[in-house]
Structure 1
Amino acid sequence: MIVISNRLPFVIQKDDKGSTIRKHSAGGLVTAVAPVVVEHNGKWVGWPGPDYDFGAPLPESSPDDTTPTAGLKSSNVIPVPLSPNLYQSYYNGCCNETFWPLFHSMPDRAVFSADYWEAYVEANLLFAKNTIKGLDDMCTDDEPTLVWIHDYHLMLAAHAIREYAAKKQYKIKLGFFLHIPFPSWDLFRLFPWADEILQGMLACDLVGMHIHDYCINFIDCCNRRLGTRVDSKDMLVEHGGRYVRVAPLPIGIPFSRFVSLAKEAKRTIPEDKKVVLGVDRLDYTKGLPQRLKAFELLLVKHPEYIEKIELLQIAVPSRTDVKEYMELKEQMDQLVGCINGRFSTATWSPIRYIYGTIGQQELAGFYRDAAICFVTPLRDGMNLVAKEFVACQINSPPGVLIVSPFAGAGQNMLEALLCNPYELTETMDTLHRALTMPEDERTLRMNYLRKREQNQDVNFWMKSFLKAIGRLSEEGSPVVLPNSIRPLSLEDFDEYFAVFRNSTFNQKLALLLDYDGTLAPLAPHPDLAIIPPQTKELLQRLANMPDVYIAVISGRGVNNVKEMVGVDNITYAGSHGLEIIHPDGSKFHYPMPPEYEQKANELLKELQDQVCKEGAWVESKGVYMTFHYRNVPLDAQPDLVSKAKDLIEKHGFVASHAHAAVEGKPPINWNKGRASIYILRTAFGLDWSERVTIIYAGDDTTDEDAIQALKGMALTFRITQNDISVKTAADRRLTSTHCVVTLLRWVERYFAQLPINKQASGSQAPSTPANAKD
């Protein structure tokens, strides 16, 4: 196992003598995962803190260390070097100023900065590169290595790790767990680099989140942003030729440890005093001002509580150098002062406010002796304070837990009292109900809560994750993730098209299709990319339907693509639309500046002389050319690709990446997008957008021009093969040419039902039955 987290499970510090020491980090993650890493001789990757001097040896744990990380040897720790400037932009910038507020449903507080994003990308690559060092040491046998990535700081790392492992032929399983909420589509779409985040997470085999709602949000974003096929029932996302499992795995706490702490803690709250306890980081997501105002309203509406209860609010300092947090502290100080000034008597103040850190032993005593635990965040991934309070409720009668429904705990801890922290009257009424709750109800609710948290503690969470990713099961046999994708069916396209235009189609359909990688599977050489006979026959049947119009738009020369397809009564466009042959034989040639023909000849010669080596070659298509490097060894590819790109741009051509190729084209304002619109206008007239339904399918970056041009006017498909890094504006992704065949069969089935097509085909039923699978 290799565990990756933003921070190591301990902090490197200097003691009074200047020696480097390890200080244990508290938290459920460390408590649960560190012993497993130690037991299996795994590794932990993370940032060691600002006091560590890179190059110096890591300190070992002290002899008297009894923490979960005591057995974690320095040789099993991989520190990630982050410069102060990089850490500032990556962690304090992108993580805390962008992802934290956005994922907590507070987009008005989010800062969207390209500099922050670049730092985040750079930091994630550094984490990935250092993880690769661990893989080099550990991937030595047939047993796959589990790489477990944690939280929103590292949502891109899995992508780079998977690519490296594939090149090295390492067997790995990648897991990711998000410790904060995942936002809904309407919020997540605000992030300018949303595609990259989703694809980074989908590089994993398992994505774990606290609750079902977060999982559904993630799956919905994958479907709507990336156009991936999803299975919301089984919580699977198809991506890169794999299924990615998304699972709700609510984190627990070390229950027995908190029980022991509660038994040993000294009493700090008198038995005759009722204390309402709040324990939070001083963060704007925790709803602290709202909590104070609700408590003030309680004293106004129920003056009988004056001198009878006390709100003990512990606020742990957080990000004290950030303006928003300084303003929050000032607001809290003012509210506490105002409320205490309004209601205090000579012997009593309603609020006891502690701004500082409390040790776990003392905190356990507060948990144990409090009458109520007041957990009312505006948004929270889980909130372990609620669980810690329950674990420490060893007295009889027990206290009462109040939880916000906007915390993950609010959906799992069903016996707690729920209140909406945005509505002060409701919060006040819930607090009043808790203070007056009969002992038998308090006992019943707490018994159920304690039983659940004891059974579903942090070790249960750890085992649940390992079981979900296929490392163990209750029966002892491994749980296997689906390793084959369910074939795309006609019913899937029923669902796709049901959303498109509310299931209504115009009487006429225009099918615009790429050739290589769309109609014909990709091949090492263009001459080997042959359209399957059944696909050719299907296209011919569609071309014979009066209501179906077909155009094949390819980067090949127009005569070559016509020869390769060989279907009558359709339009052929070659050289990305520079040359077009209509069904009636008429032709169109885009006017090309004469100088580019000479430049193309010069470029072709230089490419052949300088970069056509190691299996690389150049395909000439007039003023277009393609440098192919599919057969070049992996280690030689970057240098040759860079040189080819430089040569193409030196001659004034535009270089663009394709499948294992770099295309060079003249800098003209004509591409597959412009060509598609020209073809549609020629075929259907100026009002074509109102008279025809359009479907476009392509697999290349050049097809993206057409997808962008037809956005909103067509249903667009991008065939992504197994490339998990493709960014597309298409409505849907398809994984192979087989999926395109299924799409064409769906079109045949649909349009064969129309009266004019029935007449044209002799009223014969379509060759593919409605329930056929591809």
Structure 2
Amino acid sequence: AGYRRVNRLFAQKLLPLLKPEDLVWVHDYHLIPLAAELRALGCGNRIGFFLHIPMPPRLIMAAIPEQEWLMRSLFAYDLVGFQSETDVTHFSHYIEAEAQAEQLSPERFRAFNRTLRVGAYPIGIDVDDFVRLTQAKEGRETFLRMREEYARRRLLLGVDRLDYSKGLPQRVQAFRALLERYPENRNSATLIQIASPSREDVSAYDDLRRQMDSLCGAINGDYGELDWMPVRYIHRNVARRRLPGLYRASRVALVTPLRDGMNLVAKEFIAAQDPADPGMLVLSRFAGAAEQLKEALLVNPYDTQGTAEAIQRALTMPLEERIRRHEALLSRIRKLDVHWWCSSFLQALKHVEQDVTG
């Protein structure tokens, strides 16, 4: 009831501000019913929606209470965008099976007496802006300080919110497996894991924090030396202007969520690298970014042994192969950057064939 009430209030406040030619772009699951509320008030503008989180597979979506109402609400939009082709597939399978939607074309469906266009519009970053951050004073200072402090080490880096979707315990367990199976990394490889505070008033997050404290402490206790700490676990925010230097100083980035809509850390890491000696990205196949970043080392984050093997491969990968992979990754995130994402979605919304019968 509160969800509906907030969206109704949002629509009531927004409608008087709209001009007939305005495009309305609504973002994320918090506001799924907004278009339906606007239509009920007589809004005839083109309205688009973008889902930043993953679209659940059909049977999981069908388990959500009032899921039919949510889907009916999505059909009040003219265009719905998803992060990946996998998300589009999940959506189309759901509406065809559960809502008996008719597929009019590869991107157009009809259900609930409305016609809807759907598509994948993977979100990107501002690559040039991030490169400038890497070369700015704070970025360079961080890079030089990390290179000096860890001159005898190879850095592995994780940057996440402390969230149970990010696969942090599995990542730490994979690092432990790396030290067990490949002892040459002892006293050599250091994992810096930044886990920014997130929803700390929720008990599940408190449990996750205690689990991470225990796992990281156990590795440091079992493998640490007087002059080497295997894991540097940082449970606080790190200034964004410092992150590019940290990315650039790292040999390997571990982006291994259990599920993620996109994950822009993966793209930021690529943008920050030295093209002449780039670090390697180890990426979960369950992140939306995996559809685009196929030259990364893709892993199943639930398979800690397999992830450990991928980390070892990243640490030992020849320079020539790292350069080749990085060139392909950088080219793709430049082509499909945040400006492409914005303009491609809005152009599609601007030219979408509106359903005048709905």
TM-score range, shorter chain: over 0.9
**Corresponding residue of 1:246:** 118
Q: Please give the TM-score of this superposition, normalised by the length of structure 2.
A: 0.94
| Match for residue 401 of structure 1 among 281, 295, 302 | 281
The answer as to whether partners of 1:230 and 1:238 remain within 8 angstroms in 2 is yes
The answer as to whether partners of 2:152 and 2:188 remain within 8 angstroms in 1 is no
The answer as to whether partners of 2:78 and 2:352 remain within 8 angstroms in 1 is no
Mapped partners of 2:355, 2:60: distance in 1: 32
| Match for residue 125 of structure 1 among 2, 5, 8 | 8
**Corresponding residue of 2:247:** 367
| Match for residue 430 of structure 1 among 307, 310, 322 | 310
- Which runs of no fewer than 5 residues in structure 1 stay unpaired? 1-117, 472-478, 485-721, 725-774
- State the Cα distance separating 1:241 from its structure 2 match: 4.3
Mapped partners of 1:395, 1:371: distance in 2: 13
| Match for residue 418 of structure 1 among 298, 322, 340 | 298
- Write the letter of the residue equivalent to 2:223: F
**Corresponding residue of 1:188:** 61
**Corresponding residue of 2:51:** 178
The answer as to whether partners of 2:99 and 2:111 remain within 8 angstroms in 1 is no
1:482-537 alpha-carbon deviations (Å, 9 max, x no partner)? 759xxxxxxxxxxxxxxxxxxxxxxxxxxxxxxxxxxxxxxxxxxxxxxxxxxxxx
- State the Cα distance separating 1:240 from its structure 2 match: 4.8
1:539-568 alpha-carbon deviations (Å, 9 max, x no partner)? xxxxxxxxxxxxxxxxxxxxxxxxxxxxxx
1:654-710 alpha-carbon deviations (Å, 9 max, x no partner)? xxxxxxxxxxxxxxxxxxxxxxxxxxxxxxxxxxxxxxxxxxxxxxxxxxxxxxxxx
SS in 1 for 2:191: strand
| Match for residue 204 of structure 1 among 77, 81, 86 | 77
SS in 1 for 2:146: coil
Mapped partners of 1:180, 1:483: distance in 2: 26
Aligned residue pairs: how many?
350
**Corresponding residue of 2:131:** 259
> 1:148 and 2:21 equivalent?
no
The answer as to whether partners of 2:252 and 2:280 remain within 8 angstroms in 1 is yes
> 1:224 and 2:104 equivalent?
no
Aligned residue runs from structure 1 range 323-722, under 5 A: 323-394=203-274, 396-469=276-349, 471=350, 479-481=351-353
Mapped partners of 2:45, 2:51: distance in 1: 20
Aligned residue runs from structure 1 range 280-359, under 5 A: 280-359=160-239
- State the Cα distance separating 1:145 from its structure 2 match: 1.7
The answer as to whether partners of 2:83 and 2:120 remain within 8 angstroms in 1 is yes
Q: Sequence identity, in percent? A: 40
- Which runs of no fewer than 5 residues in structure 2 stay unpaired? none
Mapped partners of 1:451, 1:333: distance in 2: 38
Mapped partners of 1:164, 1:480: distance in 2: 21
**Corresponding residue of 1:160:** 37
- Write the letter of the residue equivalent to 1:246: V
**Corresponding residue of 1:16:** none
Please report the RMSD computed on the Cα atoms of aligned residues, expressed in angstroms.
1.5
SS in 2 for 1:262: helix
- State the Cα distance separating 1:237 from its structure 2 match: 1.4
**Corresponding residue of 1:110:** none
- State the Cα distance separating 1:199 from its structure 2 match: 1.0
- State the Cα distance separating 1:226 from its structure 2 match: 1.8
The answer as to whether partners of 1:315 and 1:356 remain within 8 angstroms in 2 is yes
Q: CA 1:380 to 1:354, structure 2 compared with 1: closer, same or farther past 3 Å?
A: same
1:437-465 alpha-carbon deviations (Å, 9 max, x no partner)? 00000000001111111121101100110
The answer as to whether partners of 1:219 and 1:235 remain within 8 angstroms in 2 is no
1:218-249 alpha-carbon deviations (Å, 9 max, x no partner)? 12222222222124x61211135442110000
- State the Cα distance separating 1:480 from its structure 2 match: 4.5
- State the Cα distance separating 1:133 from its structure 2 match: 2.4
More helix by share: 2
- State the Cα distance separating 1:269 from its structure 2 match: 1.7
- Write the letter of the residue equivalent to 2:9: L
- State the Cα distance separating 1:272 from its structure 2 match: 4.2
SS in 1 for 2:42: helix
1:186-240 alpha-carbon deviations (Å, 9 max, x no partner)? 1011112001111111100000000011011112222222222124x61211135
SS in 1 for 2:253: strand
1:555-613 alpha-carbon deviations (Å, 9 max, x no partner)? xxxxxxxxxxxxxxxxxxxxxxxxxxxxxxxxxxxxxxxxxxxxxxxxxxxxxxxxxxx
**Corresponding residue of 1:13:** none
Flag the structure with larger Rg: 1
Q: CA 1:330 to 1:228, structure 2 compared with 1: closer, same or farther past 3 Å?
A: same
1:350-399 alpha-carbon deviations (Å, 9 max, x no partner)? 00111111111111111111101100000000000000101111352100
**Corresponding residue of 1:215:** 88
- State the Cα distance separating 1:273 from its structure 2 match: 2.6
The answer as to whether partners of 1:299 and 1:306 remain within 8 angstroms in 2 is yes
The answer as to whether partners of 1:278 and 1:375 remain within 8 angstroms in 2 is yes
The answer as to whether partners of 2:248 and 2:273 remain within 8 angstroms in 1 is yes
**Displacement over 4 Å in runs of 4+:** none
Identify the structure with bigger relative contact order (alpha carbons < 8 Å, sequence gap 6+).
2
Mapped partners of 1:292, 1:449: distance in 2: 26
**Corresponding residue of 1:269:** 146
1:1-51 alpha-carbon deviations (Å, 9 max, x no partner)? xxxxxxxxxxxxxxxxxxxxxxxxxxxxxxxxxxxxxxxxxxxxxxxxxxx
